[in-house]
Amino acid sequence: MKIKKIHLNNFRQYKGFHELDLSTSKNKPFNIILGNNGFGKTSTYRAISWCLFNKEPRLSNIRQKEFQNERLNFKVAQQMLINEEETVSVKIIFLDENNNEKTVERSEVFQKIKDKTDTKPVELKYLPKKAQLDVTFYNSEGLQSREDDSAEQYIENNIINGSIQNFFFFDGQDIQDFVKANKSSSIESHLNILTGITDMTSVLKNLKNLRSELVKKIPKSTGTSPEAILVRTQNSVTEKIELGNKLVNDIGELEEEILSIKNEINDYVEIIKKNEATEKIYNKVEIIDIQKVALNEKYNEIDNKYKTDILESFANVVLRKEIDDFDTLIAKKIENKELPPPALENVEDILDLIIDEDKLVIKDIDGKLKKDKQFYAKINWIKNFNKEKFLDKIKEYNQGVASKRKSQIANIATHTKEFTAGILNDSPTIIFENAKNSYDELKKIKNKLSNLDKQRADHMNEIGNYDKKSMKEIQKKHDMAEIRLKVANRDLTKKEAIVETNIDFIRELNEEIKNIKKNISSSSEAYIQLNFLEKSINLLEPAIEDTRLEALKVTNDRFRKLIETTTLKKGFWNAKISENYNLNVSDKNNNNLLPLNGSPLMSTGEQFLTGYCYMQSMQEGLELRFPMFIDTPLSAVSLEYRKGIMENFVNLKDKDIQTTFFFTDSELTDDVFKIIKPYVSNFYEIKISSLDKDNAIETNYHKRTI
């Protein structure tokens, strides 16, 4: 079954006639209706549900009546005259497996009573006698039609049963509420629908009611007659059965309590183990700290020596080249004769030898007489100058030479070789070798310290919040939990023993009842009927339960598979429907994330994911090919889960299930659209144009090119 078209006429925001073409192909089974909140997106979703089931989603039975008048577009209502009547209708055109059309059209008529005032809206009167439901379809006899009750029956039997609408109409908020409530009655009802035993459960309920009524006709339990004894015995059996049922419930609760206590104990054990391990790690950290202190002391010792060696040899190393250069400079100055010339010594004697009476002579070194000297030239002294003054000038010159020789440069020049000899003879190689060795040693110590720091950091990451006081409290809680576990196990054993005894006692009483019945006249019609009812109930009740459990097993397989393929936490969740018909989702530590008496221990997105997987697993079991409608599917779903949820819907395309998504702009992100785009046949966007006043939509849906 697929939807071809939908017609809306004056339905809520949609003023006048509007048409949606939802025809899809096998390879493109998806439709998208996009609209912001308040634009009429959810109204379209409600219109489909109202047309089929005479009920709008998100409205209770009381509110269905309360908001009934609001189905007629408020703009139309305002423009109506007093006592004028207007119709609101929705028509759905289906295509069956043979491509034949089936139509369902529901309409209501409203009469205007009063105009709108400043304080009150338009007052309308619903005219139930003018409400209509029409169904048309083809069969071997040609085009057929049904109206009202007959049409309702046709929809229930041939299109979709209202009891399973939740498996095809998905509302994001309802999905989350269903998971949070986790009601066993709802899930049991779903399984009854899934297995087709809803009628059987109704029959069983009626049989039990008949039995109760029939028991009232049986003679009172007082007296010694076989009938009275039979009644007393049957009452005893009933009491034992009721006791047994109560004990079974108690046992189920005890088993859950025991599981909860075990999980609690496991948590305490983990904390205790972690804290014991933490204490050991602290000891390791202390050893590392001691090693670090020793290494730091050694490092400082070598570092100080290293720096001292460098400082002590700094002058040697730095001045070496300067001394070399200075030595070369002195040598060069000597070579260039830039240093003071030598002093003129013994000048007076020399002058006496070569100057005699203002004449230049050379005396015979051995001669003693004047004749022993040879005259060469006559000396003409400058005015006021003579030999004595000449000797004074030479003496002045020698004093200048002596003064220069006593200057710093001359002194250094004189002693430079002695000064530089010691330094220049000491090689810097030894100095640098010592420094290099010290540096290498420091580097090794740094590496050791770095490794110790890493070990320490790793240990600190392992350390929890170690607190001896809280540790004692945890140990105390652990011991108390162990005591509670022993008590619960003891109660469980005791109640299981009582159940076993009860079963044996019921067996004995049933044998006794058989024997009593043999002695009672077969003409007793009440007993015959009661006996028949007992047999029927005893046959039907286990058959229903077996059927439901088999459906539960198959559904659980689908449920687990969907959860595993959707969630990002692979191997983290263990999801199933329990035998008590509750959703049970546990983490890898076996903690129940959906406790019966408490808030879910999972995110909103995870709740949505669980609900969708559950509904899809139920839907698969129905094997009914009916269109799906999903309103705001991702409204509260985090980004990490959106991909998995949408891919689950994509997987349904192979089953050729037509699916219409009602998205808000914030839900239909690029990554979501990318997943479903290849499978979309129609894409409508609801936009409020200038013609649409006060959210009363008069323009058609805007069809977008994909």
- 589 Cβ neighbours under 8 A, 6+ residues apart: 263, 266
Which of 140-144, 300-304, 434-438, 542-546 comes out lowest in average pLDDT?
A: 434-438
Q: How far, in Å, CA of 618 to CA of 623, rounded? A: 9
- By C-alpha distance, which of 93, 100, 91, 90 is closest to 5? 93
Exposed e or buried b for every residue in 195-223, given b needs 16+ CB within 10 A?
Answer: bebbebbeebeebeebbeebeeebeeeee
Q: Is the per-residue pLDDT at 566 higher than 80?
A: no
Q: Is the per-residue pLDDT at 402 higher than 70?
A: yes
Distances (CA, A) of 7 to 25, 68, 88, 701: 20, 19, 11, 12
pLDDT confidence of residue 338: 63
Q: Is the per-residue pLDDT at 435 higher than 90?
A: no
Q: Is the per-residue pLDDT at 681 higher than 80?
A: yes
Q: Is the per-residue pLDDT at 130 higher than 90?
A: yes
- Who wins on pLDDT, 431 or 66? 66
Q: Is the per-residue pLDDT at 354 higher than 80?
A: no
Rounded average pLDDT over 620-644 = 79
In tens, the pLDDT along 110-122 reads 999 999 888 888 9
- Who wins on pLDDT, 520 or 317? 520
Which of 89-98, 174-183, 616-625, 670-679 comes out lowest in average pLDDT?
A: 616-625
Burial class (CB in 10 A: 0-12, 13-18, 19+), 558: middle
Rounded average pLDDT over 224-249 = 77
Rounded average pLDDT over 414-426 = 52
Burial class (CB in 10 A: 0-12, 13-18, 19+), 567: buried
Q: Which residue has the tokens 């100055």?
A: 333
Q: Is the per-residue pLDDT at 409 higher than 60?
A: no
- Who wins on pLDDT, 678 or 471? 678
pLDDT confidence of residue 317: 56
Of the spans 83-92, 386-395, 470-479, 538-547, which averages the highest pLDDT?
A: 83-92
pLDDT confidence of residue 88: 96
pLDDT confidence of residue 68: 83
Q: Is the per-residue pLDDT at 12 higher than 80?
A: yes
pLDDT confidence of residue 497: 86
- Who wins on pLDDT, 213 or 696? 213
Q: Is the per-residue pLDDT at 460 higher than 60?
A: yes
Q: How far, in Å, CA of 106 to CA of 108, rounded? A: 7
Of the spans 129-138, 305-314, 540-549, which averages the highest pLDDT?
A: 129-138
Give the orientation angle of helix 198-215 with respect to helix 525-566, to 10 degrees: 150
SS3 (DSSP) at 313? coil
Q: Is the per-residue pLDDT at 522 higher than 50?
A: no
Q: Is the per-residue pLDDT at 523 higher than 50?
A: no
Q: How far, in Å, CA of 379 to CA of 535, rounded? A: 176
SS3 (DSSP) at 4? strand
- Residue 103 exposure: Cα atoms within 13 Å on the Cβ side: 15
pLDDT confidence of residue 413: 54
- Who wins on pLDDT, 235 or 29? 29
pLDDT confidence of residue 256: 82
Would you give the DSSP letter of residue 216? T
In tens, the pLDDT along 238-292 reads 788 888 878 887 887 888 888 888 888 888 887 777 777 677 777 787 888 888 8
**DSSP output for 353-383:** HHEETTEEEEE-TT--SGGGEEEEEE--PPT
Q: What is the mean pLDDT of the chain?
A: 79
Give the orientation angle of helix 428-462 with respect to helix 226-312, to 10 degrees: 170
Chain mean position to CA 206? 50
Note whether 28 and 681 are within 8 A (CB).
Answer: yes
Burial class (CB in 10 A: 0-12, 13-18, 19+), 141: exposed
> 576 - beta bridge partners?
584
In tens, the pLDDT along 180-191 reads 887 877 777 777
pLDDT confidence of residue 614: 80
